[in-house]
Each structure stands twice: as structure tokens, then as C-alpha cells.
């Protein structure tokens, strides 16, 4: 169900890219928009992991530097039947984590210094298993592609403002509406995909670590502690918020349709129900 919903949402975003291209240049514009979006996705697919790790000041940890953390990631990756990902430490006190990489063979798990200090071993295992589930489901690739298409849609919306669009396709009024509504629609689709993938990663992560209640406990503690600390790299790069296990942006009270993550209470309730079964 989650994969089917993600496919439909990504198809709708692709259609939105083509519709804006059509408004700009008819059939040729729609085709050109699709080609440009594909080129942007290819670049993001190859470079996104390096970009996001650099943005957050991540430091790679080998077996010696990583110690128990590196050993825990290796153990859980083996359980998940995944290649060993690279392990990174994020120098921030906000407890959080994310996964990145274009495929399981080129993946990375990054955890913050605050996460290591704030969780016990079982809770930390639950969070890492959640991130490994994202890698196994190739969610890191999905979210990279949707972020790239959302950026392309915003760019084309701005182009419509200056060109006015084709007169036989709504003219100035249509261009203004598209400029305003298209980026909002793209952001809503991007956030909906992110929320759907979080539920699935919680479910699979709980199976990998074998302790749904440990992951539920970790989510509750992270959500509580994250609100009391500031993650400056995430604040400077809000597009990366969807990658984290809990929304890292501080003090935001957005409407749920624009939230990058499902409500933590819902995620915990699902994990508790899973443990009960």
C-alpha cells in the first residue's frame, strides 16, 4: 500500500512538471521540462549523499573511531541483509539521525552526538534499524528525486511569472495561479511521500531490531529532546528535514499537510500495536 501510494504521488509530481512545461511552451515545453527534470534527478542521484553530509558537517567513523556504534550498525545491517553502510557522526547536540545514498551499496547512516548521549543501546538500535529500513526500501533515492522535482516545479513557476505563459493556455492569470499553486502542490506531494515512507520504515525497522517498543521509546524521547535544542545545519538547509527520523526544525507549528513526518504519537501507537501482535 505504501509503495503504491508513493508511486502515484511521484506520478502526480511528474505530471505537474509536464503541465508547467506545457504552459511555458506547449508540447515541446512539456517534453523539455521532463528532460530537464530527469537530468536534475540524475545529478541528484549521484551526488546527493555527499552534498547532504557536507551540509551537516558529518565526520566519517571507521571501526576504530566508531567503536560500539560501528559494531551496532554492522550487526543490524547483517540482520537486514544489507551491505555495511558508512557511519557518520553529526556534531550537534540535538538527538537525531538520517540515512542517505543512491542505493544500498552506496549508503550511509549518520547519527548526532546528542543521539548517542540521550538513548540507551536498545533505543539506539531501533533508530539505526529505522534508517537501515529506509536504505533497504530505497527511500533515500525516492526523497532525493521528489526534492529535485519540487525544486524544478518552483523554478518553472517563477519562469511563468516573467514570461506570462502562452496566451492560449491561460495567459497572465493562468501564469500567476500556476506560479502560486504549483510549488505549494509540489511541496504537499513531497511531504505526503515522506510521511508514507516514515510509517513503512518504522514497521520494517522494528522487525530488523526485533523490539518495536524500543523504537517507540526512542521516537518519544527524541521528539521531546529535539524541541529543546537547535540543529543549526538543518535550520540552514530545511530541504533535508525529511531525511531525519524526527523533524529537526525547531519551533515549527505547521499544518499537518505540510509536515515532513507523521505525528509522533501515531508512529508510537502503531509500534505499540505491532508489539502487541
Closest to 22 measured CA to CA, from 134, 203, 166 = 166
Take residue 232 and report the three cell numbers written for it. Answer: 543549526
Sheet containing 106-112, strands listed edge to edge, beginning at the edge strand earlier in sequence: 59-61, 86-90, 106-112, 97-103
DSSP secondary structure string, 174-206? HHHHHHHHHHHHHHHHHHHHHHHHHHHHHHHHH
Q: At a CB cut-off of 8 Å and minimum separation 6, what does 206 contact?
A: 126, 129, 212, 215, 271, 274, 275
**204 part of the active site:** no
- Which of 123, 131, 198, 200 does the annotation list as catalytic? 131
Residue with cell 517498543: 213
8 A C-beta contact, residue 237 and residue 58: no
CA-CA distance, 159 to 161, in Å (whole number)? 5
CA-CA distance, 96 to 93, in Å (whole number)? 9
Q: At a CB cut-off of 8 Å and minimum separation 6, what does 200 contact?
A: 2, 3, 133, 137, 139
**Catalytic residue list:** 131
Amino acid at each position: 500500500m505504501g509503495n503504491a501510494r508513493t508511486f502515484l504521488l511521484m506520478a502526480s509530481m511528474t505530471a505537474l512538471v509536464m503541465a508547467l512545461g506545457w504552459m511555458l511552451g506547449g508540447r515541446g515545453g512539456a517534453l523539455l521540462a521532463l528532460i530537464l527534470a530527469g537530468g536534475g534527478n540524475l545529478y541528484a542521484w549521484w551526488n546527493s549523499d555527499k552534498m547532504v553530509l557536507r551540509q551537516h558537517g558529518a565526520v566519517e567513523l571507521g571501526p576504530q573511531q566508531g567503536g560500539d556504534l560501528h559494531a551496532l550498525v554492522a550487526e543490524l545491517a547483517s540482520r537486514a541483509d544489507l551491505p555495511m553502510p558508512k557511519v557518520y557522526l553529526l556534531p550537534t547536540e540535538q538527538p537525531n539521525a538520517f540515512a542517505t545514498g543512491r542505493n544500498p551499496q552506496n549508503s550511509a547512516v549518520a547519527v548526532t552526538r546528542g543521539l548517542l548521549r540521550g538513548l540507551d543501546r536498545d533505543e539506539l538500535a531501533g533508530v539505526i534499524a529505522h534508517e537501515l529500513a529506509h536504505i533497504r526500501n530505497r527511500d533515500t533515492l525516492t526523497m532525493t528525486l521528489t526534492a529535485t522535482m519540487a525544486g524544478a516545479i518552483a523554478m518553472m513557476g517563477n519562469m511563468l511569472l516573467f514570461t506570462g505563459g502562452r496566451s492560449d493556455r491561460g495567459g497572465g492569470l493562468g501564469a500567476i495561479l500556476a506560479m502560486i499553486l504549483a510549488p505549494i502542490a509540489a511541496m504537499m506531494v513531497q511531504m505526503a511521500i515522506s510521511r508514507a515512507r516514515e510509517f513503512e520504515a518504522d514497521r520494517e525497522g522494528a522487525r530488523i531490531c526485533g523490539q518495536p517498543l524500543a523504537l517507540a521509546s526512542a521516537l518519544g524521547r527524541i521528539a521531546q529532546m529535539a524541541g529543546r535544542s537547535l540543529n543549526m545545519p538543518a535550520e540552514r538547509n530545511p530541504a533535508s528535514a525529511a531525511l531525519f527520523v524526527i523533524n529537526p526544525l525547531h519551533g515549527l507549528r505547521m499544518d499537518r499537510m505540510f509536515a515532513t513526518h507523521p505525528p509522533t504519537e501515531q508512529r508510537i501507537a502503531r509500534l505499540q500495536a505491532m508489539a502487541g501482535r
